[in-house]
Amino acid sequence: MNPGGLQSNGKNLFVNTDASGEATTGTPGLEGRGSIQQGFLEMSNVNVVQELANLIIAQRAFEMNSKAVQTADQMLQNINSLKQ
């Protein structure tokens, strides 16, 4: 009766509580219940702009770490060449 009172169990699973009331079952599309439609997508809750910004940040961090490893490798090569 009260969808807001359901307790989330994760992975899109919910359990009824005293606040939500007992679960009611029935045929989709009848008696005011929602319907199931094949081939339709539900709205996404992903913010595309934020995810793209996070991807760019991660890519730049990877590039910076890669340059640091390359620089350390070059320094070790120079040290090895000085020993010989």
- Report the pLDDT value the prediction gives residue 82, as an integer from 0 to 100: 87
Q: Which residue has the higher pLDDT, 12 or 54?
A: 54
pLDDT digits (tens, 9 = 90+) for 18-50: 898 888 888 888 888 888 888 877 777 888 999
If you average pLDDT over residues 42-61, what whole number do you get? 91
Buried b (16+ CB within 10 A) or exposed e, 43-77: eeeeeeeeeeeeeeeeeeeeeeeeeeeeeeeeeee
CB distance 23 to 16 below 8 Å = yes
pLDDT digits (tens, 9 = 90+) for 71-80: 999 999 999 9
